[in-house]
Structure 1
Amino acid sequence: MSQRSGYDPGVPCWVDLSSTDVQASARFYGEIFGWRADMIDDPEADGYGMFVHEGKQVAGVGPVADVGPASFWNMFVATDDAAALADRVTKAGGTVTMEPMAVFEEGVMTAFQAPDGSYAAAWQAGNHHGAQLVNEPVSFCWNELVTRDPAAARRFYPAVFGWTPRPADTAGFEYTEWTLGERAVAGMVEMSAGYPPGTPSFWMTYFAVADVDATTTAAERAGAAVLVRGMEAPPGRFSMLTDPQGATFSVIQLNEPGGNI
């Protein structure tokens, strides 16, 4: 199902971009995905806005909270109780970096750092339930934890989200799917030696595209760095990119329509 009006607890429901230059990011993603950035006209929104595709909200965008060297994509997982989730984070050895906070009438969010070093967030829906379009071209379709400590992640994320780690058959490549019941909702891979020293564990967002090679070329022309170009994987051909403001993301041409989100 591609158009969504809600998400079960434990399912990734939203992604947003923390950018060092929101206007430049809006131009870049508008060029490669055709998104329109609708900024929220309220000083209390702190410059936050919505990326919209064909009338559907597909992601968010806002300035980085602290001035830093690079932008980054954030993953939000649906919850029915943000306060209880934050408590589970602490009990599982994580650090709550944003206490549960109401966002206008839209919902309640909390953010945290896991023991493996990765950051994630949770969303308790109010008026805003999450992405209105997923698993179709230019919407998000998968989130993957790239971690330096898979063992720590395997202990932490099940305690917080109720996920179960399940080894996936990837023709000799070690990969883990995070499942909720029988449903795969996210992935995990150990960070390879190819990453620069000191790169922290992070969640990679994948966006579905109709033509991965054309999108990769368009992104490169718009100023992105290509980290992985047109590699085959069981779900489809993908590329890994870093946008001009430093946010890393992946695009994938799915072999089969739809997805697990």
Structure 2
Amino acid sequence: MTEARESAGPNAQRAPGEPCWVSLMVHELAATEEFYAELFGWEFRPGPQQLGPYVRALLDGREVAGMGQLPPDPRLPIAWTPYLATNDVDRTADAVRLSGGTVAVGPIDAAEAGRLAIASDPSGAVFGIWQGTAHLGTTITGVPGTPVWNELLTYETESVAKFYATVFGYEREPVVAAGLDYVTLHLGGRPVAGLHGVGHALPPDRGSHWQTYFEVTDADATLRQVVDLGGRVLRPAHDSPHGRVARVADPEGAEFSVVQDPS
């Protein structure tokens, strides 16, 4: 994860089903920009405004994520949402409905950037669908401040894995370990996302939800910075086979994980 990688060339289309973007909708957009600018070194520029005020986050001039302003309804969830690529968002939205999911927004055009829909799987987890034209998604990975993994936390994986495989054509690879319900989703033999069944450990106030992992240089130092900036530590840093990992929340409550590359 330590070597910067261009995740797509200027004219490269994403493979259908590939996570290509992450986006956060919040109530206080300016304050949220300040938090992530300090935490990850992001800068911001305006993006499409079809769903209200929206900015794209940049790292060293390259796009890594998006943020938008929610309407003033305090009940709307504040969460990082992954977008999955498609060549035809309307056809994918139909497949979501036919497979037991729900399409909540769209499909709609996002100016000249592309076309999108926001959907939920049968367990209620929200995700986006993105058909890029001018904007193809995150353009850099493998350096601190970039998204490196998306993982669905759900009650059990069997039924929801079938949904994602049907809609996006993923190959499914269960992780064989005692007491672990985990499925890795692959495209062309490459892992692109994970499904983690946690049973009754699933937060009752959130239900099934996707979680984004961002790479950091030092997980423990990042946790101290999160707290100093008004966020919270939800799970302290701990070592894993993939690096040192922790889960946090920003000042508005949006949860995300940070991972320090073991190399």
On whether the aligned pair clears a TM of 0.5, the verdict is yes
**Which residue matches 1:259?**
none
Which whole-Å CA distance do the structure 1 matches of 2:199 and 2:215 have between them? 24
Distance 1:135 1:66, change over 3 A: farther
Instruction: Point out where structure 2 has 5 or more consecutive residues left out of the alignment.
Output: none
- Counterparts of 1:63-78 in structure 2, within 5 Å, are 63-65=69-71, 67-69=73-75, 70-78=77-85
The range that moved more, 61-70 or 156-165, is: 61-70
Shift, 1:45, TM fit: 6.4
Aligned with 1:185 (options 189, 192, 202): 192
Contact map agreement 2:17 2:85 (CA 8 A) in 1: yes
- How far apart in 2 are the matches of 1:78 and 1:171? 33
2:156/2:181 contact within 8 Å kept:
no
Map 1:1-261; keep pairs closer than 5 Å: 2-5=5-8, 6=12, 7-40=14-47, 46-65=52-71, 67-69=73-75, 70-168=77-175, 173-191=180-198, 193-256=200-263
Structure 1, unaligned stretches of length 5 or more?
Answer: 257-261
Give the superposed CA RMSD.
Answer: 1.9
SS at 1:219 equivalent: helix
TM-superposed deviation, 1:37:
2.1
1:106·1:125 contact (CA, 8 Å) conserved in 2?
Answer: yes
Instruction: Report sequence identity in percent.
Output: 34
Please list the CA deviations of residues 196-217 of structure 1 after superposition, one character each: whole Å capped at 9, or x if unmatched: 4332100000001111111111
TM-score, length basis structure 2? 0.90
Counterpart secondary structure, 1:175: strand
1:255 is paired with a residue whose SS is coil
Task: Give the match's secondary structure for 2:32.
Answer: helix
Q: When the two structures are superposed, what TM-score results if normalisation uses the length of structure 1?
A: 0.91
**What SS class does the counterpart of residue 158 from structure 2 fall into?**
helix
**CA positional deviation for 1:149:** 3.7
Q: 1:63-97 deviations in whole A, cap 9, x for unaligned?
A: 12562355211110111111110111011011111
Alpha-carbon contact 2:155-2:200 (below 8 Å) kept: no
Task: State the shift of 1:180 in Å.
Answer: 1.4
Q: Deviations over 1:131-189 (max 9, x none)?
A: 01123210000000001242321221111111122112568644221111311100111
Give the whole-Å Cα distance in 2 for the aligned partners of 1:134 and 1:65: 31
Q: Deviations over 1:18-59 (max 9, x none)?
A: 11111111011011111112234x765621001111111110
Say how many residue pairs are matched.
Answer: 255
